[in-house]
Chain A
Amino acid sequence: MSMTLAEKILARASGRSRVAPDEIVVADVDLAMSHENADLVRKAFLEIGAPRVWDPEKIVIIFDHRIPAESEKTAATHKAVREFVRQQGIRHFYDVGRGGICHQVLADNGHVKPGMVVVGTDSHTTTHGAFGAFATGIGATEMAGVWVEGRLWFKVPSTIRIEVEGEFAPWVSAKDLILWIIGKLGAAGADYRAVEFDGSAVRRMSVASRMVLCNLSMEMGAKVAFTPVAEIGPDPEAEYERTLHIHLGYDIPEPQIACPHSVDNVKPLSALGEVKVHQAVLGSCTNGRLEDLEIAARILAGRRVHPDTRLIVIPASQRICLEAMRLGYLETLIEAGAIVNPPGCGPCVGVHQGILAAGEVCVSSTNRNFIGRMGSKDSFVYLASPAVVAASAVAGRIIHPEAVMAKENAHV
């Protein structure tokens, strides 16, 4: 019996020869990741009363949502987790200044391997399907159960296959592709399901771009998402719930924008009309990687951020920050008038480092534009690619990068 990649990994992890959609299996967990909410997990773990975690080598803890600590309350949380990590002998701990955004840190340090079952107390854990892992988000209490037992029940998901062919139009990227897909399928379009991306266009993509596809699949409800890896793949005769065929040049000829206040409210840029922006944000687990900083630097080189707009740049990890510094991207961005935040989640979760006031509009390379996500409930977040974010920062309004590149200097 042929299996999809999700079925294959769950079969292996639950000790079965085969599994089928809707079956419940109990699978061994290979990697359990948490960020600051490790404090919630820790409390639940202590309540359960087990003396030791099941395997300290398989737990990774990375601070990213509130770094450096923005309040005394967070400082106390960080401190409690540090103490717990020491007591339990958890070696894979990335403190302030040692890591960055959890999903990027796992990738930077090679924690995820093809075929693994990865759970994280963060919804964007789907990102790690780019490395061939069955990777999904869970809550803190459930993670406490994993810390005790090292296993978890899963309902085997059915799989949606998405095959992508063709070449990207100029200034169109993986972000535009996945926003377009979410716009078509809807916010619940992949609920409880696995998504397999494949096709020549996906196979040509960088690892960073593949991570964008898997990361944002969460915004259509996906349990897990995969891009192809050499080590493990679906059987050729695997059965899919449905298969979508996308041709980049034909289907997605221009950048896509997710308008307030839902990620599936997607429009092509040309249908947007005039949208002035007070803030532009380049960063997050979705789009804070080197290729994202590179394209922004290319657009902002020799140009200035619009006087009525501020540009906030957040490299996804310490490693990416260092590399972007060596390559001169950060210098270019700072010279253009950007502020560079420390690697971490930044304003994406609405906690600090760039909160929006009532009435303000932000164009952002992040992943959610819900009401109040980045600050005031009366602010507006438009999700876009890094190139559109950078170009819009120059123009002071949401704009096609082509229009900015056609002019030599500041005001477009």
Chain B
Amino acid sequence: MSDASPILRGRVAAVLGANIDTDLIYPGRYLNITDREKTAEHLFELAWPEIRSRLRPGDFIVAGPNFGCGSSREQAAAALKYAGCGAVIAASFARIFYRNAINLGLPAVVSPSAAAQCGEGDELEIDLSAGEIHNLSRNITIAAAPLDPRAIELVRSGGLIPWLKAKYAAPAAG
């Protein structure tokens, strides 16, 4: 927990377009599933169910602008996390999805050019605090926005619940 520069390494499982909405990520019909682990079963179910079977732990999803637009459903971020996704990299994020992802401990990385500079299967290394993505397969560095230190803290804690748990469940330590 003391590493100053968290580095993620993984493979690109899919490169998606603009305005990937939360119904595409996680259909509304499954909103009554409240076990976070089980949400993974329905990731991208309507349009791209094959992505889920392709995802290996730590893999990345890369997308265009406005990823996660639409509903506030947290299951969209949960499904990605529990299907094994190590981070979502997008040109921009819809605001509620972005907060949900960080609150669940799923890094959401803003990079305007990643979708154009990554292909499926590429090996990436992401430096969250420096805001750099190294595409090892293509030997290029892709610019990204550094993740806010508060967000990095939440991601490293495993999300908002463990972070608050440490604050409230234990007796106040001053």
Once bound together, how far apart are the Cα atoms of A73 and B70, in whole Å? 25
Interchain CB contact under 8 A, B100 and A142: yes
Q: Closest A residue to B100 by CB, please name it.
A: A139
Q: How far is the CA of A140 from the CA of B99 in the complex (A)?
A: 11
Task: Known contacts A191-B94, A370-B70; decide if A138 and B99 are in contact (CB<8 Å).
Answer: yes
Docked Cα-Cα span, A179 to B158, in Å, equals: 39
Which residue of the partner chain, among B28, B74, B159, contacts A349 with CB atoms under 8 Å? B28
Kindly state whether residue A403 has any CB partner on chain B within 8 Å: no
Question: Given A40-B74, A44-B161, A187–B69 Cβ distance below 8 Å?
Answer: yes
Q: Give A199 to B86 CA distance when docked, in angstroms.
A: 47
- With A148-B164, A350-B23 known as contacts, the answer to whether A191 contacts B28 (CB < 8 A) is no
Hey, which chain B residues are within 8 Å of A351, CB to CB? 28-29, 31
B164 and A221 contact, CB distance less than 8 A: no
Q: Which residues of A contact B161 (CB under 8 A)?
A: 44, 47-48, 141, 144
Q: Which of A39, A50, A188 contacts B69 (CB 8 A)?
A: A188
Q: A139 contacts B72, CB within 8 Å? A: yes
> When each residue 20-48 of chain A gets 1 if its CB lies under 8 Å from chain B and 0 otherwise, what string results?
00000000000000001101100110011
Measured between alpha carbons, how far is A377 from B23 in the docked complex, in Å? 10
List the A side residues contacting B99 at CB < 8 Å: 138-139, 142
Q: Nearest chain-B residue to A349 (Cβ)?
A: B28
Residue pair B168, A49 in contact (C-beta under 8 Å): yes
Given contacts A39-B34, A191-B92, A350-B23, contact A141 B159 (CB under 8 A): yes
| Contact present for A36 and B96 (CB under 8 Å) | no
Q: A347 — nearest CB in chain B belongs to which residue?
A: B28
Q: Which of B37-76 contact A (CB under 8 A)?
A: 46-47, 65-66, 69-74
Q: Is the CB of B77 within 8 A of A223?
A: no
Bound Cα distance from A43 to B78, whole angstroms: 14
Task: Report Cα–Cα, A163/B28, bound state, in Å.
Answer: 35
Could you tell me if B32 and A66 are in contact, using CB atoms closer than 8 angstroms? yes
Let me know if B21 is at the binding interface, CB within 8 A: yes
- Check if A37 sits within 8 Å of B103, measured CB to CB: no
Within 8 A of A (CB), among B87-106: 92, 94-96, 99-100, 103-104
A221-B29 CB under 8 A given contacts A139-B103, A188-B94, A191-B92: no
Instruction: Report the minimum CB–CB distance from A237 to chain B (whole Å).
Output: 27
Chain A contact residues, majority secondary structure: loop
The answer, yes or no, to whether B143 is at the interface (CB within 8 Å) is no
- Residue on B nearest A188 in the bound complex, by CB: B66
- Judge if A171 is at the interface, Cβ distance under 8 Å: no
Q: How large is the interface on A (under 10, 10 to 19, 20 to 34, 35 or more residues)?
A: 35 or more
Bound CA span A349–B70, Å: 11
Q: For chain B, which range describes its interface: under 10, 10 to 19, 20 to 34, or 35 or more residues?
A: 35 or more
A121 and B29 alpha carbons, distance in the complex (Å): 17
Complex Cα–Cα for A132 and B74 (A): 27
Known: A49-B165, A372-B23. A187 touches B72 (CB 8 A): no
Q: Are A48 and B31 also in contact (CB < 8 A) when A140-B74, A368-B70 are?
A: no
Instruction: Decide if A40 touches B28 in the complex (CB within 8 Å).
Output: no
CA distance A187 to B161 in the complex (A): 31
Task: Report the minimal beta-carbon distance from A358 to chain B, rounded to whole angstroms.
Answer: 12
Q: How distant is the Cα of A191 from the Cα of B24 in the complex, in angstroms?
A: 19
User: Which of chain B's residues have a CB closer than 8 A to the CB of A350?
Assistant: 23, 27-29
Q: Which residues of B contact A137 (CB under 8 A)?
A: 72, 96
Say yes or no: A123-B72 contact (C-beta < 8 A), given A77-B34, A141-B159.
yes
Q: Which of A48, A66, A138, A370 is in CB contact (< 8 Å) with B23? A: A370
Complexed CA–CA distance, A188 and B92 (Å): 9
Closest-CB distance, B160 to chain A (whole angstroms): 5
Tell yes or no: A71 within 8 A of B by CB: yes
Contacts A36-B31, A351-B28, A372-B46; is A141 near B103 (CB within 8 Å)?
A: yes
Any A CB within 8 A of the CB of B173: no
Chain A residues with Cβ under 8 A from B159's Cβ? 141
Given A138-B99, A139-B72, are A188 and B24 also a contact pair (CB < 8 Å)? Answer: no
B contact residues vs A (CB 8 Å cutoff): 19, 21, 23-24, 27-29, 31-34, 46-47, 65-66, 69-74, 77, 92, 94-96, 99-100, 103-104, 150, 159-161, 164-165, 168-169
New A-B contacts (4) at CB < 8 Å, excluding given A139-B73, A187-B66, A370-B23: A37-B74, A145-B160, A192-B95, A372-B24
List 6 contacting pairs A-B, 8 Å CB cutoff, sorted by A. Answer: A77-B32, A137-B72, A141-B161, A191-B95, A221-B69, A368-B21
Interface positions of A (Cβ within 8 A of B): 36-37, 39-40, 43-44, 47-50, 65-66, 71, 73-74, 77, 120-123, 125, 137-142, 144-145, 148-149, 153, 187-188, 191-192, 221, 223, 262, 349-351, 368, 370-373, 377
